[in-house]
Structure 1
């Protein structure tokens, strides 16, 4: 009885044979372990998911660089063109549900030899008709159209993912530039100190206070500082080149800012529920792929049923052009056809199996995407707190290293300690300052990772390239 009802429904209304879509359960906890509060607040989740990127990355220079990248980056432009191609494929699938109407005309004039004489003849015709229009009783074409639509929407989400990744990459590149500038400043300060100390050591060596060995050690340390300075200058130049590649256009004049001068991003992210992951473009794309797989099952099932096609045309034909449109010159043709699969050697069953396996594969891909996203957000939340503690400790290390260096210098000048103690103090302070810069960069980079892991922010209409509109 159920089978009869199914066939009747299909014949009357073109019902889909696709199974009803069911979103898989999220295979992760409801809240993140790194969230500051145990309970999730739906309103806060909504606010975070809809936070524009300009509100998150609030540095004016960085905002300008991101806007330029969204307008000029070649990888993003290529992705936008790919989205257009998927949109065209959807239009192809949609057009199959509509009849193809074509008009034509023909004229002939000939002379033939027959019965010992030549005879002239001519003929003219015009017609308009529909060719092989399939009546989609079982929604095979409709399900194929749904599948193509879901593929197009998945590709559009992939483009959004590329946009979010581009925003994050530009932010990281800018932060790296600021950090390397700060490392360059530290290298310059260190070289200046070593120049002064080497001059002092040369004076002490001439007066017989220090040995020749101490002077050679001092000069070695100075040249090491000079080499570090050259490496730091190279890193800054390469950072600018990397940023220009991401932006896709000549860079505007950049202020000589340092990483320590910037607090770029909102510091708090309250009450995070795992439901926010559903805003991530990779998860949205995976769900579109899953919905498309459900539709493909319907199309594969419909292939087992008869298909009915209509071909029809009407027009005029006449032996004389002047009489082509007379009332008695009209012609028409109507040719319905039906195709019922009887034996396909398992082809249709295999097609259905492929569609079901695709659905099962998309379920696994959807669940894996959620699990991966959950880990990324959790890692960023956990790292955020640990970076704060680490930064506090590193600041105390620098303060202690400065005191160590000052005391070592005083004791060396007084002749109470040897040069090796002072050299160790110099290296300790230099390393501590470098480590703090690297730690700040990692801390801000983690905030960028959190922005990306949460699905990014809103892309304004003015930030969308013409190729993607």
Structure 2
């Protein structure tokens, strides 16, 4: 009996490490160019060859502003969407462990007692019968000859890894959303400061011209024209007051809890500049993005599921066995001669099942769908990165041109105001110059915000902020 048990254990160990019927997996070719785009829009996009790759830069090193770091940390701790993503990972890991446990037998113990009064043929009267037993055994353990359970285990593992990459992707997206909301709030606060400053300037001009109008030194037209600029500035103050409040609400939601006022940004110009990151010399860097790794794990899971569907065409072998003691009275359970055992293998051979072939075809189609989604993810990632690089390549020129425009309009406003005060120009030219200066200053704030947002975007689309890939060891 011991020899049979040892032989059975050796055979079982061999089966548990055997192959499955899943098709061999190889990573598909990426349906994108090997090199990044080139052209006039990208002339300055690769001007920092010594910059680190985004995937190698942790978010605390990239976002070096202390206030922003604290707000991001709050979001990573309290954001409910990220919490749901983390719980989905825990759920997928538990399901994987359940599926992996199917490979091993389930040991059960049972204690039973039976007493009945029956009539036995050939005897007169009724007889009391008693039976007591204690058993330890295996109940309906499927021996995985054809790799069905191992294929399902592989699928569950890949689904778990996909959920983990999904959590990482959600984490990177949350970090970028918090940074963008923080920078937008800083820009709107700076716009609000500019609008208030413009309102003060226009109010002072209005008061001056009104006094001149009252004594007959200025026409009513000048008074009404400057009044329009005062009212316009008042509208902008109200609008940016509303926008800053909405920006704060959005940031509170992303952080998952109210943010202390001392952590909120004051102005965009006071936010520390962000370091440059390199896209690398090849688009293969995109294969390290969490969302693409997630799509690849989904593809691997679909590939493993084909193995389970193929194994359904072959016999299933299960085993039920038990050892224990049995006796007609309770005191005799552990006496010599009470040992009992049972061994009941069972083979189920499929002859006809109309569902088997369509099930296999469904898994094959599911793999094609997963492959198309994987390739689509790579194409989207390439487009997102190319767009960010195009913006990066042109923002320098836009910034320089806008700064020159601000300087020119500021000088024009000074000259127009001086000419009006000397009585050699009309006030309409002063208003026009002031309006142009105000618009140019707003445009400069917008471009500075666009530059910072582009840096955040490039860091995000290149997979920045993530850790090393999760290993299945220790699950």
Q: Is the 8 A contact 2:277 2:459 kept in 1?
A: no
Task: Identify which of 332, 353, 361 aligns with 1:353.
Answer: 361
Q: Secondary structure of 1:337's partner?
A: strand
Task: Identify which of 112, 117, 120 aligns with 1:106.
Answer: 112
Q: Secondary structure of 1:351's partner?
A: helix
Task: Identify which of 161, 168, 171 aligns with 2:169.
Answer: 161
Q: Is the 8 A contact 1:38 1:271 kept in 2?
A: no
For 2:309, the equivalent position in structure 1 comes to: 300
Q: Is the 8 A contact 1:45 1:273 kept in 2?
A: no
Quick check: 1:65 aligned with 2:74?
no
Partners of 2:227 and 2:408 in 1: CA distance: 26
Quick check: 1:340 aligned with 2:318?
no
RMSD of aligned alpha carbons: 2.6
Q: Is the 8 A contact 1:37 1:270 kept in 2?
A: no
Q: Secondary structure of 1:328's partner?
A: coil
For 1:328, the equivalent position in structure 2 comes to: 337
Unpaired runs of at least 5, structure 1:
1-9, 461-468
Superposed, 1:129-144 pairs within 5 Å as: 129-144=137-152
Task: Identify which of 10, 28, 34 aligns with 1:24.
Answer: 28
Cα displacement string for residues 177-221 of structure 1 (whole angstroms, at most 9, x for unaligned residues): 110111011011101101110111111101212123332332232
Q: Secondary structure of 1:315's partner?
A: strand
Partners of 1:419 and 1:249 in 2: CA distance: 51
For 2:3, the equivalent position in structure 1 comes to: none
Superposed, 1:21-420 pairs within 5 Å as: 21-33=25-37, 47-110=53-116, 120-252=128-260, 253-254=262-263, 257-267=266-276, 269=278, 271-345=280-354, 347-420=355-428
Partners of 1:406 and 1:356 in 2: CA distance: 73
Q: Is the 8 A contact 2:45 2:389 kept in 1?
A: no
- Give how far 1:379 is off: 0.8
The 1:91–1:184 alpha-carbon spacing in structure 2 relative to 1, beyond 3 Å, is same
Partners of 2:280 and 2:43 in 1: CA distance: 7
Q: Secondary structure of 1:449's partner?
A: helix
Q: Which moved more, 1:255-264 or 1:152-161?
A: 255-264
Cα displacement string for residues 279-327 of structure 1 (whole angstroms, at most 9, x for unaligned residues): 1011101111111111111111111111111111122222211111222
Q: Is the 8 A contact 1:107 1:124 kept in 2?
A: yes
- Give how far 1:120 is off: 4.4
- Give how far 1:263 is off: 4.3
Q: Secondary structure of 1:336's partner?
A: strand
- Give how far 1:249 is off: 2.1
The 1:392–1:14 alpha-carbon spacing in structure 2 relative to 1, beyond 3 Å, is same
The 1:270–1:337 alpha-carbon spacing in structure 2 relative to 1, beyond 3 Å, is closer
Partners of 2:276 and 2:425 in 1: CA distance: 45
The 1:272–1:181 alpha-carbon spacing in structure 2 relative to 1, beyond 3 Å, is farther
Partners of 1:303 and 1:182 in 2: CA distance: 66
Q: Is the 8 A contact 1:100 1:130 kept in 2?
A: yes
The 1:349–1:406 alpha-carbon spacing in structure 2 relative to 1, beyond 3 Å, is same
- Give how far 1:440 is off: 1.1
Cα displacement string for residues 76-127 of structure 1 (whole angstroms, at most 9, x for unaligned residues): 0111111111111111211111111110111234556999967544332211
Number of aligned residues: 450
TM-score between both structures, scaled by the size of structure 1: 0.90
- Give how far 1:361 is off: 1.4
Partners of 2:273 and 2:75 in 1: CA distance: 19
